[in-house]
A and B are shown apart, each in its own frame.
Chain A
Amino acid sequence: MWSLIDTGFGFWDVYAWIAFFLLAGGGFFYLRSQGRKDYRRGTDQDDIFYGGNPVPEDGEEITVPASSAYWGFTRALEGWYKGLTAWHSGMATEYLGYMVLVMGLLALAVVR
């Protein structure tokens, strides 16, 4: 129960990882305790810096919407995504066609 899993080429030991996280956590809290002592909660120190402008009341206006996440990634792969979204056409009969197509290809491969 407490031993490790041998995967044939390597092994997996969850307790080594937990020990690692404990050590890393200890290091983190040590470094954090070395930080500035003059920080005070609830003073001007934790005001949001919004380019010198007043921070909007509604969080909506300072959020990056989900559709803008990974903009660079989707932009770089634009051709791939254009083809892929066009492929997911929403036509029920096309979906059925792909199934029959796979069946045909598999038949060619298996029967030969």
Chain B
Amino acid sequence: MTAAPGTDDAIARRTDEIISGLIGLEGPLLLIFHALQAEYGHVPAAALPRIAERLNISRAEVHGVMSFYHDFRSHPAAAHVVKLCRAEACQSLGADQLAERAQEKLGTGFHGTSADGKVTLEAVYCLGLCACGPAAMVDGKVVGRVDEARLDQILKEVRA
């Protein structure tokens, strides 16, 4: 009997397959988290006990590693993710004002989702675009020289 997709059983089964593909590599835990997040948009809680069992480490260790890294989500993000760089080089070109504007327009703080549920706003510390800041990443695509008009356009597009 196959479990319906999205149920804990189905997730545990899929986690097993992912682990089997990666367990031969040295230090595979981050690779497993990345693979799960690529598939589900987050690391589902139901996957953690399976990982602990297969890697022969404690569930606390699995949880500890996952929660250490900013990238791994325990819950899915909105359909669109806007990351604004908040590091020094972008600050020198007005990133703080942009950050305020974005929070105001979306009605959410960083690491939150807009009231319409369409956009998750995140802070990022450096995208390596320090000579063409302020920088952003919109659904994985990099954008340079973000001014107020460009930000407004980005937010309009992702909320459309």
Q: Are A and B bound to each other?
A: no
